[in-house]
Structure 1
Amino acid sequence: MADVPPERRHGGGGRTTLPPPGRGPLPPPPPSRMRFEPVEREKTCPLLLRVFTKVGGHHSKEEFAIRGKEPKDEVQIYTWKDANLRELTDLVKEVSPEARRRDAKLSFAFVYPDKTGRFVVREVGRTFSYGNGRRLDDAKTLAELSFQIGDYLDVAIQ
């Protein structure tokens, strides 16, 4: 979680302090990777994910600055927080001919307002249109990447 900005971290977020010498055991080391339980998709209502695609690169944060004037190339997807980037890649391929190219690479970024209300575009992972054994971030889920309901997903197709 070192690459997740402090304002986006979930959980304790506080500082771990060591006890004074001779006073009890040391705290346990932090887990190497947070584990999230899979969602029971049959019983859990999906969330609306607003996805913006662009060939060549990500949209700029300025393109999201005015509410209601977001980029026009939007696709709305209903999904769950345990959806991984491979699932999202396959969904983007259904609506974007450029993403179906055999050599296409997809870069995923979350778009959200920071503490001051200005939008941030933060890259969270990359996939290939067709795996062919070259798995990058395919298995990363929205939850593992600190997605919060209301964030946008920006997908650069290269």
Structure 2
Amino acid sequence: MAGAAEAQKRQGGRPFLPPARGPPPPPRPRFEPVDREKTCPLLLRVFTKIGSHHSKEEFAVRGKEPKDEVQIYTWKDATLRELTDLVKEVAPAARRRDARLSFAFVYPDKNGRFVVREVGKTFSYGNGRRLDDSKTLYELRFEIGDYLDVAIMSSEFSTVR
């Protein structure tokens, strides 16, 4: 160590840095798409409800989650548009022309209490250009084991309450 300190003193107290070569490397992409042919999918537990999201209390007891569950095998690079299309296959209310879907992750906080966090919205028949349509589970910070809660909303549902 003494040798390094001596060398720094001789150079005016500055450490030796090699000269920069070329432009800096481009930033790495945030997430590489998954090779769905080679990567095993994850099981996503999806709970749907018409009119609003489920409350966090409905998830409080393990094994007593809401009954309207659909299990989907997917990957972390799945977009909200892909998930919208899958929900439409099993939930007739989501197929309505004016239906809007609101997505929320349900997960335990550091104290073990469940949190319901909204992460995005889509229209049932979107054109793929909406801001949230192209968001992936990975970008939304989904972790394996989280639940997905989907609120299906429509102008008809909001007036019938």
**TM-score > 0.5 by shorter chain:** yes
Normalised TM-score (structure 2): 0.76
Normalised TM-score (structure 1): 0.78
Deviations 1:100-123 (CA, angstroms, capped at 9, x unpaired): 000000000000000000000000
C-alpha contact 1:128 1:134 (8 A) present in aligned 2: no
- C-alpha distance in 1, partners of 2:30/2:51? 33
**How does 1:76-91 map onto structure 2 within 5 Å?**
76-91=71-86
**How does 1:89-128 map onto structure 2 within 5 Å?**
89-128=84-123
Deviation at 1:134, TM superposition (A): 6.0
**How does 1:6-155 map onto structure 2 within 5 Å?**
35-132=30-127, 135-155=130-150
Q: Which has the larger radius of gyration?
A: 2
- Structure 1 runs, 4 residues or longer, greater than 3 Å off: none
Change in Cα spacing, 1:75 to 1:62, as seen in structure 2 (3 Å) is: same
Deviation at 1:133, TM superposition (A): 6.8
C-alpha contact 1:82 1:142 (8 A) present in aligned 2: yes
Deviation at 1:135, TM superposition (A): 1.4
Structure holding more helix per residue: 2
Structure 1 gap ranges (5+):
1-30
Provide the aligned length of Structure 1 versus Structure 2. 131
Deviation at 1:35, TM superposition (A): 1.6
